[in-house]
A and B are shown apart, each in its own frame.
Chain A
Amino acid sequence: MTDNKLINLINISKSYGDNVVLDELNLYIRENEFLTLLGPSGCGKTTTLRIIGGFENPDKGQVIFEGKDITKLPPNERQLNTVFQKYALFTHMTIAENIAFGLKIKKKSKDYINDKIKYALKLVNLDGFENRMPDSLSGGQQQRIAIARAIVNEPKVLLLDEPLGALDLKLRQDMQYELIRLKNELGITFIYVTHDQEEALTMSDTVVVMNQGYIQQIGSPEDIYNEPQNAFVADFIGESNILPSIMIEDKLVNILGTSFACVDTGFGRNKPVDVVIRPEDIDLVKPEDGIIKGVVTSLLFKGVHYEMEVNANGHDWLVHSTDLVPVGNEVGIWVDPYDIQIMNKPESEDEEAVELDI
């Protein structure tokens, strides 16, 4: 991955009537990056993708591709291809004709097209499907054909709009591996749109968390998960305890009346903050060994772990643990300092918007 900015979105705004979908969005995508736009429905992620693809025109702002302004360029003149959510295969054509569509438009030779069809079908593990019709294929197979149809055109960027959304869980997980493999074999840039945080964390180099037309956080999957910048990100990515707290001084935070050691500095003294603690980062210990004491109020078996709620300091703490503590038992709660993530309270207008949604 280089630092070369392949696509640069500058001050993109888009609204439908009174509904503002994107507001002054700025984002760049590096060459050979797997970038995921992640957010709940209506957050503007699909609109962003459609603006990059050329299917929507932004009201304001520019789309720069390899240094050139392509904002006004129609989709057929852009060097990128899209994989649509519901496959969008041409049902009146065979699989081979579907894959050849873009190449025939570009007037490639017959031999070249046939080679490409073979290559693409092999790449998506569907050799021998040339003469089948799209309707006779399963959802997963159709989506692979849609990917094959896009990549034979050798785009610099592949746009994927919730491509796994219509598939069942097992297939979705298999396809995640397929997509990572494809990305590595092709060596091109993927821009992926999803509302599924697990998909985003599994596949991406960079995750862009969006809500209500604003970018909430950009970072690696680890950054996004371990160091969410605000309550929305913390809540949307995985499960978490979000606790209103007061930063007493550097490396010391008062959570619900009890002081916890942490590693964060620079927030000032006696400043109200939000604290995120992931449920798997809470250790249940003997009551006398914990930082605070609590009582287990509910217990669910989730397979890999138990999900428990522990009432302590007047708050139900969500805890994931492989150790079982029966309901009603008293336990101690222990959190390692580096597992406490401190976030500023929302101040700016866009972050306020987030608050309303939670």
Chain B
Amino acid sequence: MKLFNITNTKTNSSSNKNGGSSLGNDKVKWLSLPYIVWMIGFIILPLLVIIYYGLTSGNKLKNLFTLGNIRLILDPTNFKALRLSLELSLISTLICLLLAYPLAMILSRSRMKSNNFIVMIIILPMWMNFLLRTIAWQNILERTGIINTVLNFLKLPTLNIINTPLAIVLGMVYNFLPFMVLPIYNVLIKIDKDVVAAARDLGANSIQTFLKIILPLSIPGVISGITMVFVPSLTTFVISTILGGSKIILIGNVIEQHFRVGNWHAGSGLSIVLMFFILVSMAILSKYDKEGEGGSLW
């Protein structure tokens, strides 16, 4: 099963290129037309619309260019939401990294036939609806949920996890962990066994080999893993709505609220601010991740 070999897309695209030249350039251009239409219609245009709304005021008489919507981020409530979003997504990313790296390491080392099976188990939750998974966690964590029922039964003090930042971090880690495991796993299995053997041969013990060889060589995978966990964590509003109640407001919730009440300009302005943070992390990704590890997951 080739389901998990994310890096395969790279070889596929290059073979397409070779095949394409025999087809003739005109045909290739024609074949890529639907994709170009798709890109313009569903990516470029919406982006331009957001930028337009974000940089204009709703005033029809003087529909002027304004930075007012962007400046909304300086509003204490919004700023607090952004800061909390950044904090929680950074924490989640860090936890994901600490969990995912050893797991990816173990997976890449084991030469078992069950390898693909284990990778599938990691991916399996991704086949279930994101909302379902998060609501399931809500049920588990609730005051009268599974954890507290068990604790009650054992006459232990109940836990108050739901509607706290902890619950949100838990939801983020649970939902986004596979996005950290897979790019790291992909980069680790590509490290030549002989390169590791060479380090041992030259006198490095296993810790030195890890720090000087394996870790530096896996950085591209780590960077793309970080980006792929950090970006959805930063923008999520579903996880915070379901697991945070109405008590914890993330920047995603703020934007969602603006759009829900029809305030397109404010929502777009804040979206642009958020996009800035995402672009920065993408810039980091493209700088370190020349191989395109997992970027194709998007």
Interface residues of A (CB under 8 A from B): 53-55, 74-76, 81-82, 84-86, 88-92, 101-102, 105-106, 146, 149-150, 153
Interface residue? B37 (CB, 8 A): no
**CB within 8 A of A105: which of B192, B195, B208?**
B208
Classify chain B's interface size: 10 to 19
Note all chain A residues with C-beta closer than 8 A to B198.
82, 84, 88-90, 146, 149
Note all chain A residues with C-beta closer than 8 A to B1.
none
Q: Please measure, in the bound complex, the distance between the C-alpha atom of A54 and the C-alpha atom of B199, giving whole angstroms.
A: 13
**CB within 8 A of A75: which of B197, B208, B212, B217?**
B197
Interchain CB contact under 8 A, A153 and B194: no
Given A91-B217, A92-B217, A105-B208, also A75-B192 (CB < 8 A):
no
> Which are the 7 A-B pairs with shortest beta-carbon distances?
A102-B202, A88-B194, A88-B198, A75-B200, A84-B194, A105-B203, A82-B201
Note all chain B residues with C-beta closer than 8 A to A90.
195, 198-199, 213
Interface residue? B147 (CB, 8 A): no
Q: Please measure, in the bound complex, the distance between the C-alpha atom of A74 and the C-alpha atom of B204, giving whole angstroms.
A: 10
**CB within 8 A of B203: which of A85, A91, A106, A146?**
A106
Q: Please measure, in the bound complex, the distance between the C-alpha atom of A86 and the C-alpha atom of B195, giving whole angstroms.
A: 9
Interface residue? B13 (CB, 8 A): no
Note all chain B residues with C-beta closer than 8 A to A153.
202-203
Q: Residue of B at shortest CB range from A86? A: B194
Q: Shortest CB–CB separation between residue A80 and chain B, in angstroms? A: 8
Question: Which secondary structure dominates where chain A touches chain B?
Answer: loop
Q: How many A-B residue pairs have CB under 8 A?
A: 62
Interchain CB contact under 8 A, A74 and B195: no
Q: Please measure, in the bound complex, the distance between the C-alpha atom of A143 and the C-alpha atom of B134, giving whole angstroms.
A: 53
Note all chain B residues with C-beta closer than 8 A to A149.
198, 202
Q: Shortest CB–CB separation between residue A191 and chain B, in angstroms? A: 13
Question: Which secondary structure dominates where chain B touches chain A?
Answer: helix
Interface residue? B205 (CB, 8 A): yes
Q: Please measure, in the bound complex, the distance between the C-alpha atom of A306 and the C-alpha atom of B213, giving whole angstroms.
A: 53
Note all chain B residues with C-beta closer than 8 A to A89.
195, 198
Given A88-B192, A101-B202, A106-B203, also A55-B213 (CB < 8 A):
no
Interchain CB contact under 8 A, A82 and B197: yes
Interchain CB contact under 8 A, A101 and B199: yes
Q: Residue of A at shortest CB range from B191? A: A91
Q: List 14 A-B contacts (CB under 8 A).
A: A53-B201, A55-B200, A55-B201, A75-B200, A76-B200, A81-B201, A84-B197, A88-B198, A89-B195, A89-B198, A101-B204, A106-B203, A150-B201, A153-B202
Note all chain B residues with C-beta closer than 8 A to A88.
192, 194-195, 197-198
Q: Shortest CB–CB separation between residue B223 and chain A, in angstroms? A: 14
Q: Please measure, in the bound complex, the distance between the C-alpha atom of A92 and the C-alpha atom of B213, giving whole angstroms.
A: 8
Note all chain B residues with C-beta closer than 8 A to A76.
200-205
Note all chain A residues with C-beta closer than 8 A to B197.
53, 55, 75, 82, 84, 88
Interface residue? B216 (CB, 8 A): yes
Note all chain A residues with C-beta closer than 8 A to B216.
92
Q: Please measure, in the bound complex, the distance between the C-alpha atom of A149 and the C-alpha atom of B194, giving whole angstroms.
A: 14
Q: Please measure, in the bound complex, the distance between the C-alpha atom of A91 and the C-alpha atom of B216, giving whole angstroms.
A: 10
Q: Please measure, in the bound complex, the distance between the C-alpha atom of A188 and the C-alpha atom of B13, giving whole angstroms.
A: 49
Q: Please measure, in the bound complex, the distance between the C-alpha atom of A75 and the C-alpha atom of B205, giving whole angstroms.
A: 9
Interchain CB contact under 8 A, B200 and A74: yes
